[in-house]
Structure 1
Amino acid sequence: MSPSRSFLLNNKCNLIKLTDRHTHTVSTMKTLCVWTISLTLVISVSSQVFHWGPCPTPMVQPNFDLNRYLGKWYEIEKLPATYEKGTCIETNYSLRPDKTIKVIYVRTRKGKVRTAEGTAVIQNQREAAKLGVSFSYFTPYSPYWVLSTDYDSVALLYSCTDVLRLFHVDYAWILSRTRSLPPETVYHAKEVFSREHIDISRMVPTDQHGCEGGA
């Protein structure tokens, strides 16, 4: 669901609370609002990966070194995401003067190169591998956890969000410093996710062939 749609739904519910003076009607309308938002969320994540219950809490990269992680990463495989359709997907991370992380996301969609700029921050200095990422001033930071990386060749990322305390939507990525990884490396990467009880059965490869900068 787009940030604007979520914002409007929540504002409608708030408007009902402010303008309706009849308790029973307010209660009924609030219930309808909750169900409307719930249904919209379910529809919006129909092509995502979602599961009942709360998010898992996987271990993250110990002693995460942000400076070594910065630079360009190519997407090798991922759990499906509606906002990540396309080929030749890559992300470049650099440090801004204010110590936030500039995130440049590039993909090719329908023959056109599309670019988006976001911001990442370290949300907990005690666990520096737990970052937050946002691509809009109107949306909060989404979890962006580095589960494992050797900094030079591969990185495993995970993001999970609880929805209404009923289910969670999660994303996972295998990234590489090059546009391809040996099959055995991908296999071992998936084993890491599985050990952390993350379901990667729907993980799909990202097409990195015929891209600018080499295959």
Structure 2
Amino acid sequence: MTRDHLLFIFAMAMAIGVAYGQRPAFGRCPNVTAKADFDIDKFVGQWNEIERSFYLFESSLSCTQLNFTLYENDTMRTEVTYRVPWRGTSSVSSYRVKDVSMTPGELNMVLDGPLPSVIARMAPGSGKYIVLDTDYTDYALIYSCTDLRLVHADFIWVLGRGKDISVDARTIVYSTLDKSKVNRDRLLLTNNKDC
């Protein structure tokens, strides 16, 4: 491969990463698996964002909360509430997840609203999120990765039922990321002050 080819591939990786709002990197997505015996009934409810990797569309948001609601038709609704600092107001984005019991621990979130499904699947926040680990009461670790063969773009979410998680939970989260070969050094603390 020539230098121009490598520069083109890198530029495409950066463009795709920016388009998805995620961090681009060379290589394929790491092979990760959802938490064994994942129990969606214990998982639903309200969670607070504690840490996350860089995500362009969330870079200046604070006080992010997620509320997962399960319905009888094997569908789940996810409402993401966040504060927009320059407006001084809160906003809500809603996503739907179909067939939650088909692949336990994998949440295929699609933006909910009037957009055609083809466009909604490509909207910021839509995608496959894998619950790598959770104890259901203190922490949850969620990972998403878009694989484009030569490059990938990924996203990490560390959630807690409260405004922070315990030291033991954080140790488990970091250990799980290390075992999964996911770089945890790029995690950023979420601004949960004055929420």
User: TM-score, structure 2 length as denominator?
Assistant: 0.80
Q: How does 1:1-150 map to 2 (within 5 A)?
A: 38=12, 40-44=15-19, 48-85=22-59, 86-110=61-85, 111-122=88-99, 125=102, 127-136=103-112, 137=117, 138-140=119-121, 142-150=127-135
Distance 1:58 1:43 in 2: 23
Query: What corresponds to 2:4 in structure 1?
Result: none
Count of residue pairs the alignment pairs up: 174
Distance 1:139 1:172 in 2: 21
Please tell me the root mean square deviation across aligned C-alpha atoms, in Å: 2.3
Distance 1:69 1:191 in 2: 21
2:39 counterpart letter in structure 1: D
Shift of residue 99 of structure 1?
2.1
Shift of residue 79 of structure 1?
0.6
Query: What corresponds to 2:5 in structure 1?
Result: none
> Alignment partner for residue 204 of structure 1, among 181, 188, 191?
188
Identify the structure with bigger relative contact order (alpha carbons < 8 Å, sequence gap 6+).
2
The unaligned stretches of length 5 or more in structure 2 are 1-7
Shift of residue 76 of structure 1?
0.4
Distance 1:124 1:71 in 2: 17
Paired residue secondary structure (2:120): coil
Query: What corresponds to 1:171 in structure 2?
Result: 155
Kindly, what percent of the aligned residue pairs are identical? 24
Paired residue secondary structure (1:80): coil
Query: What corresponds to 1:6 in structure 2?
Result: none
User: Which structure has greater helix proportion?
Assistant: 1
Please tell me whether Structure 1 or Structure 2 has the larger radius of gyration of its CA atoms.
1
| Counterparts in 2 of 1:40 and 1:52: CA distance versus 1, 3 Å | closer
